[in-house]
Every structure is written in structure tokens, then in C-alpha cells.
Amino acid sequence: MHVSVVIPVRNGAHTIMRAIDSVLAQKLPPSEVVVVDDGSTDTTPRILAAFGRRINVIRQGSRGPSAARNVGAAAAGRANYLAFLDADDVWLPEMLQVMVEQLEQVPARVLAFCDVEPIDERGYAVTEPIVPEECAHAPEMNELLMRWWPILPSAAVMRRSAFDSCGGFSEDFTAPGFEDPYLWMLMRELGEFAYLPERLVLYRTSSPVERMEKYEAGYQTFSRLVRRRYGAAGEQLVREITTGFGSAWDHEGLIALKVGNKKEARRDFARALRYNRLHVRSHLRWLRTFLPLGVAQALSGGFVHGTKVSAEHRSTSWLDGE
């Protein structure tokens, strides 16, 4: 039951120590901890040096999380299992032991994942769950082709052999975002997954706007790779994520309009149209931002004046958890 742990980090001085400490405190101690410093310009190298021989540090120029994880995996020994922890997340002490036990029980399982406890940048719990009820199970391949599935890198442990067979994380992804769901699809072709509802990870989340801006380039790469590998079978997944981007930007535009910021609302509606140029409501909302504020708000309906978010404008699950 040997596990190699890889932690990619770039400018993670505020969080990396806590992440590494949580790995070193595991009830099932990892065989090794490889930290890949992906071009940090802050005090991250000094913090890593303080751990001495307890971790193996690799420094490289900034190449993105996919390349950093792959470099770490290549440098790791030949442990049976691999686990990747993001530098701003934290494992509870049982994480590795519980996940590895799931893989040991069934040889056909190639990956085990758990639920997470979402926290904000101050460390406070976020009420919105990452894993919705309908996704609280191990997915079949057809389910992965229908929607984004809430499997987070920090919440998964996988067989080393399966990771190698997939070629690791695709380095077509040079920026964060969607490199992990693509790997999960490749791995699901090789074997079963296991899901545990226990929240064994403190997952640092951010606002939907931050994630949309951060992951837009990854979305483009993901869509291209899914279409190339899965053809028509992957179109529903691409449409679901595309619709999610458009609806989320629409939602942000309505919020901006509610508080009287027409310029920001216009920008958000324009971004929504980049994902669905045929969406009539987005066109109308964009045009209304050129009208007097009171008129634009009145024409936008009850959402602008109310406090509840309609079903049409709720962020999709990948925005809540990616």
C-alpha cells in the first residue's frame, strides 16, 4: 500500500505549508512527497526548503499544472498508487488510508474519490456543496460523457499503472482548468471508480467569476480534445459546459444591472453571447444596457429586483466545484 504524493505549486506561499503538513500527518504515510515548484516568484522556494529531506522539491519554469503534475509523477518512485494535492487544499488525516483501502478491495478499480468540504480564502466553510445529490456515486462512462462530474484532483487517489496508461495529464492544457476531467474520462475507459461520501479534503474554492476567467482557455482545449476522441458521443458534455459558461455570465450581468453597473452588465452579457450567439435573451439584455438604468432594470424582470436566483441563472456544478 505505497502511495506517492505530488503537489504542484506556483506562488503558493500563503497555503503550501499547510498543504504539505496535511500530507505528512496522514495515518497512512506516503512513500514520498514530490513538490513541483512551477516557476514561483514569491517566497514559496524558501518555505519548501524548510521541510528539508521530508519532501523532494523540483523547480521548473512555469509550464502549467498538467506539466507540473506529470513532472512530479515521473520523478516519483514506483509506488502502487498516485495522489495529487493542490497547493491550496488540505487533506484530513484519514484521506490516503481510506482511499487506498477502496482500491485494494477491488482490483478492477482504477480511481477512488471522495466528497470535499469547500472553504473560502479565509478558511470559512462554504454552504454550497461540491458534490450534488445526483452525482454522489461513482460514474459510468456514459455519465462522464453527459456532464461535468465533481471529481477534484485533491480528492482522488489512482492506480499508478492506470495513470501511466493514460499518458498522465494532457499537456495540451497549458493553463488551469479541465485538464482533470479529461484525465478522468481516459481513466474510466480502463476500469471502475469508487466514491466515498466522506468529506476528507478541505477544498479552497473561489467565486464563479474568478473560475470562469481562469478556466476559459482550458474549456477551449477540453472541448477540442473531447470532440476529437469521442466524436458525437461527447457533444452533450461540450454543450452542457458551454451552456454553463453562458448562463453564468448572464447571471453575473443581471447582478451587475441590479446594483446599477451598466458597463459591467454589458460586458458580462457580451461574454455570455460568446458561448451562445443565438440566445435571444442575452442579446436583449445586452441591448438594454444602452437604455437608461431604470428602464433597463424594469425590462429585465423580477430577478433584478428580487433576491432569489432563478433556475435559469444558477451556476452549473462545474462552476461550483472545478
Query: What is the torsional sign of CA 124, 128, 134, 139?
Result: negative
Residues 44 and 176 in one domain: yes
Residues 108 and 171 in one domain: yes
Residue at which a domain ends, from 205, 220, 246: 205
Comparing 306 with 191, the larger pLDDT belongs to 191
pLDDT at 28: 97
Q: How confident is the model at residue 281 (pLDDT cuts 50, 70, 90)?
A: confident
pLDDT in tens, 282-304: 788 888 888 888 877 887 765 55
Residues 97 and 234 in one domain: no
pLDDT in tens, 212-222: 777 788 888 99
Q: Where are the alpha helices (DSSP H) in 106-206?
A: 141-144, 160-166, 179-188
Residues 196 and 229 in one domain: no
Residues 61 and 103 in one domain: yes
Find out whether 136 and 197 touch, Cβ atoms under 8 Å: yes
Read off the C-alpha cell for 274.
460568446
Q: Which of 135, 21, 5 is nearest to 81 (CA)?
A: 5
In the chain, the number of structural domains is: 2
Residues 258 and 189 in one domain: no
Residues 125 and 42 in one domain: yes
Residues 44 and 66 in one domain: yes
pLDDT in tens, 112-155: 999 999 998 888 888 778 899 999 999 999 999 999 999 999 99
What is the SS3 assignment for 83?
strand
- The domain in which residue 235 lies consists of 210-321
Residues 196 and 224 in one domain: no
Find out whether 17 and 94 touch, Cβ atoms under 8 Å: no
- Cα gap 195→182, rounded to integer Å: 18
Residue identified by cell 444596457 is 289
Read off the C-alpha cell for 52.
528539508
Q: How confident is the model at residue 314 (pLDDT cuts 50, 70, 90)?
A: very low
Read off the C-alpha cell for 294.
431604470
Q: Residue 165: give its domain's CATH number.
A: 3.90.550.10
Q: What are phi and psi of 214, to 5 degrees?
A: -70, -35
Residues 242 and 171 in one domain: no
What average pLDDT does the chain have? 88
Q: Are strands 156-159 and 81-84 parallel, antiparallel or unpaired?
A: antiparallel
Q: In what side-by-side order are the strands of the sheet with 3-9? A: 56-60, 32-38, 3-9, 81-84, 156-159, 109-119, 192-204, 90-91
Residues 237 and 148 in one domain: no
Does an H or E element contain 320, and which?
Answer: helix 317-321
Find out whether 289 and 257 touch, Cβ atoms under 8 Å: yes
Residue at which a domain ends, from 161, 177, 205: 205
Asked if residue 316 has pLDDT above 50, the reply is: no
What is the SS3 assignment for 240?
helix
Q: How confident is the model at residue 7 (pLDDT cuts 50, 70, 90)?
A: very high
